[in-house]
C-alpha cells in the first residue's frame, strides 16, 4: 500500500476558496491527485487587485460546477464514496472563505462525511511534499517557505510519529509580501495584474545588474532581518520584534519604494499611462505571459531601461529570498527545503535556490506550476494525516480570515 493506490482508496475531496480561485480536488490515499479543478477569477484584472465582494460573488457562482467537475474528472460517482471533505479554514478573505466552508459543511452533513479544516498555509507546504516524492520521506525537520501575494513566511515543520505536522514560524515579512511587491512594482510600470508572472517573464530580457538594489543585512543575536533600498542607513532598518529565538525575517517595501524613486528620477512615469493604455488596447490585461504573442507585444511596449529595472528588481528580490531561506535552513539543521506559494513559480528563485541547495546536498522541492498557485489538491493533501488521526472539525467550523500557522 505504501507504493500504490489500493483497490478501494480512501478519497478526500478538498475545497479551496480563500482568495480569487475557486478550486476542488479529489486525492486518493493522500498522494494521488485524481482531479484538481481551478476556476480563476478574471474579474479582478481591471482593478489591479482582488476585490473581496467580487471574489465572494464569483465563488458562489463557481463552487457547485467546480466541485461537480472535480468529482466527474476523478471518476467518483457518489459523494458517499468519499472518506472526508476538507476545506480551507483560513487565512483569507472572510466572505470568500465562507463560501467554501458553508458548501463543505452542507456536503459533509448531507453525505454523512467527516469534515476536516485545513490552514491554507499548511496546504501550500503540503503541495510541495505531495509531488516531490518527499511526502512520506524522512525530511523532518523541514524548512518550508511560503511566498505568495498575501504571505511571506518561513516555517520549521516537524512531523511526529503519528505523521502529524507541527509548524513553527521562524521568519515572516515585516512589511509587504513578496508577491505583493511584485504586483505593486508591475503596476508602477503599467503591467497587468497579477504582475509577478509578467515581471518574471520579462526579467530575462533585461540586465539584472543595471540597478544595484541592495538589501542591507543586519545580524543580531536575537533578531535578524534585511531591508532593501538603494542606500538605506542602518537607522532606517525595520527590525523584527525581540524574541529569544533568532528570526529570519524578510522585507519588501523598501525595494518597492526604491523602484518608485528610480522611475521618478529617470522620468519613466510619463510612459506608464501610455503603456497601460497600449496594453489595454492590445487586450493584454487578461492575457498571460506564457502566451508568446502576448509576451512579445509586452516586450515591444517596454524599453531597455524598463526591462533593466525589472531584471534588477527580480535579481534583488530572489537574492534576498535565497539568502534568508538558506540561512534559516542552516541554522535549524533542516533536512530539506520546500518552497511554495505563487512566487515559488519564479524561474530565477528556482534557479538560485536550486544551485545553492545542490552545493549543500540539501533536497529542495518546489511544486509544479499548477500546484504553486492556490488549488484544492494541496488542501486535500494537508488533510490526509488529519484523516488518519481522526482530527475532524465540528459543526461550529467558521472562517478564520487571520488564521496563523505556528
The residues of the shown chain that bind ligand KG4, judged by CB under 6 A, are: 19, 148-150, 179, 182-183, 194-197, 200, 341-343, 345-346, 373-374
Alpha helices in 282-366 (DSSP H): 292-301, 304-332, 347-360
Q: Name which of 226 and 374 has its Cβ closer to Zn ion.
A: 374
Q: Name which of 141 and 406 has its Cβ closer to ligand KG4.
A: 406
- Residue 196 binds which entry of Zn ion, ligand KG4, none, CB below 5-8 Å type-dependent: ligand KG4
- Residue 343 binds which entry of ligand KG4, Zn ion, none, CB below 5-8 Å type-dependent: ligand KG4
Report, in Å, the least distance between residue 23 CB and Zn ion.
11
Q: Name which of 5 and 51 has its Cβ closer to ligand KG4.
A: 51
- Residue 373 binds which entry of ligand KG4, Zn ion, none, CB below 5-8 Å type-dependent: ligand KG4
Q: Name which of 191 and 387 has its Cβ closer to ligand KG4.
A: 191
Report, in Å, the least distance between residue 241 CB and ligand KG4.
24
Interacting residue ranges for Zn ion, rule: CB under 5 A: 148, 374
Between CA 9 and CA 65 the distance in angstroms is 24
Q: Name which of 197 and 246 has its Cβ closer to ligand KG4.
A: 197
The DSSP code for 301 is H
- Residue 228 binds which entry of ligand KG4, Zn ion, none, CB below 5-8 Å type-dependent: none
Report, in Å, the least distance between residue 400 CB and ligand KG4.
15
Q: Name which of 263 and 375 has its Cβ closer to ligand KG4.
A: 375
123 C-beta neighbours (distance < 10 Å), count: 29
Between CA 17 and CA 56 the distance in angstroms is 9
Pairing of β 224-229 and β 32-40: unpaired
Report, in Å, the least distance between residue 249 CB and ligand KG4.
19
Report, in Å, the least distance between residue 388 CB and ligand KG4.
27
- Residue 345 binds which entry of ligand KG4, Zn ion, none, CB below 5-8 Å type-dependent: ligand KG4
- Residue 194 binds which entry of ligand KG4, Zn ion, none, CB below 5-8 Å type-dependent: ligand KG4
Answer for the pair 369, 289: CB distance below 8 angstroms, yes or no.
no
Nearest residue to 13 via CA among 69, 80, 86 = 86
Report, in Å, the least distance between residue 263 CB and ligand KG4.
19
- Residue 195 binds which entry of Zn ion, ligand KG4, none, CB below 5-8 Å type-dependent: ligand KG4
Between CA 395 and CA 105 the distance in angstroms is 7
Between CA 35 and CA 70 the distance in angstroms is 5
- Residue 171 binds which entry of Zn ion, ligand KG4, none, CB below 5-8 Å type-dependent: none
Between CA 243 and CA 352 the distance in angstroms is 30
Between CA 200 and CA 323 the distance in angstroms is 19
Q: Which residues contact 280 (CB under 8 A, 6 or more apart)?
A: none
Between CA 180 and CA 230 the distance in angstroms is 19
The residue sitting closest to ligand KG4, measured at its beta carbon, is 342
109 membership: H or E segment, kind and range = helix 94-111
Between CA 97 and CA 47 the distance in angstroms is 21
Report, in Å, the least distance between residue 219 CB and ligand KG4.
27
- 12 half-sphere exposure, CB direction, 13 A CA radius: 30
Nearest residue to 333 via CA among 139, 125, 126 = 139
- Residue 197 binds which entry of Zn ion, ligand KG4, none, CB below 5-8 Å type-dependent: ligand KG4
Q: Name which of 34 and 146 has its Cβ closer to ligand KG4.
A: 146
The DSSP code for 250 is B
Report, in Å, the least distance between residue 169 CB and ligand KG4.
17
Q: Which cell numbers in the block locate residue 265?
A: 528620477
Q: Name which of 33 and 202 has its Cβ closer to ligand KG4.
A: 202
Q: Name which of 55 and 84 has its Cβ closer to ligand KG4.
A: 55
* Exposure string over 139-148, b if 16+ CB within 10 A, otherwise e: bebbbbbbbb
Report, in Å, the least distance between residue 112 CB and ligand KG4.
32
Between CA 180 and CA 399 the distance in angstroms is 23
Q: Name which of 114 and 341 has its Cβ closer to ligand KG4.
A: 341
Report, in Å, the least distance between residue 135 CB and Zn ion.
19
Amino acid at each position: 500500500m505504501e507504493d500504490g493506490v489500493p483497490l478501494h482508496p480512501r478519497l478526500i475531496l478538498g475545497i479551496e476558496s480563500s482568495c480569487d480561485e475557486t478550486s476542488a480536488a479529489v486525492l486518493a490515499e493522500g498522494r494521488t491527485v485524481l482531479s484538481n479543478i481551478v476556476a480563476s477569477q478574471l474579474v479582478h484584472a481591471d482593478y489591479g487587485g482582488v476585490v473581496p465582494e467580487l471574489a465572494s460573488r464569483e465563488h458562489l457562482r463557481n463552487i457547485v460546477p467546480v466541485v461537480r467537475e472535480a468529482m466527474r474528472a476523478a471518476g467518483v460517482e457518489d459523494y458517499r464514496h468519499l472518506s472526508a471533505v476538507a476545506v480551507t479554514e483560513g487565512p483569507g478573505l472572510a466572505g470568500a472563505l465562507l463560501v467554501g466552508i458553508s458548501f463543505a459543511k452542507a456536503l459533509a452533513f448531507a453525505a454523512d462525511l467527516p469534515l476536516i479544516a485545513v490552514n491554507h498555509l499548511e496546504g501550500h507546504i503540503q503541495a510541495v511534499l505531495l509531488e516531490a516524492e518527499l511526502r512520506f520521506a524522512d525530511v523532518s525537520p523541514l524548512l518550508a517557505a511560503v511566498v505568495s501575494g498575501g504571505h511571506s513566511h518561513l516555517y520549521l515543520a516537524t512531523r511526529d510519529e503519528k505523521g502529524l505536522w507541527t509548524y513553527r514560524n521562524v521568519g515572516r515579512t515585516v512589511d509587504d509580501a513578496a508577491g505583493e511587491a511584485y504586483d505593486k512594482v508591475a503596476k508602477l510600470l503599467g503591467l497587468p495584474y497579477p504582475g509577478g508572472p509578467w515581471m518574471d517573464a520579462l526579467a530575462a530580457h533585461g540586465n539584472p545588474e543595471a540597478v544595484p538594489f541592495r538589501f542591507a543585512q543586519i545580524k543580531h543575536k536575537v533578531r535578524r532581518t534585511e531591508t532593501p533600498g538603494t542606500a538605506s542607513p542602518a537607522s532606517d532598518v525595520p527590525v523584527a520584534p525581540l524574541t529569544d529565538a533568532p528570526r529570519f525575517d524578510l522585507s519588501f517595501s523598501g525595494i518597492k519604494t526604491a523602484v518608485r524613486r528610480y522611475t521618478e528620477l529617470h522620468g519613466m512615469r510619463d510612459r506608464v499611462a501610455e503603456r497601460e493604455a497600449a496594453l489595454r488596447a492590445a487586450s493584454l490585461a487578461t492575457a498571460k505571459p506564457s502566451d508568446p504573442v502576448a509576451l512579445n507585444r509586452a516586450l515591444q511596449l517596454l524599453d531597455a531601461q524598463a526591462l533593466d529595472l525589472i531584471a534588477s528588481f527580480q535579481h534583488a528580490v530572489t537574492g534576498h529570498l535565497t539568502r534568508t531561506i538558506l540561512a534559516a535552513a542552516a541554522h535549524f539543521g533542516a533536512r530539506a527545503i520546500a518552497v511554495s506559494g505563487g512566487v515559488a513559480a519564479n524561474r530565477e528563485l528556482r534557479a538560485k535556490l536550486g544551485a545553492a541547495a545542490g552545493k549543500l546536498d540539501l533536497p529542495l522541492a518546489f511544486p509544479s506550476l499548477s500546484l504553486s498557485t492556490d488549488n484544492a489538491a494541496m488542501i486535500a493533501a494537508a488533510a490526509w494525516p488529519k484523516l488518519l488521526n481522526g482530527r475532524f472539525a465540528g459543526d461550529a467550523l467558521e472562517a478564520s480570515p487571520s488564521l496563523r500557522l505556528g
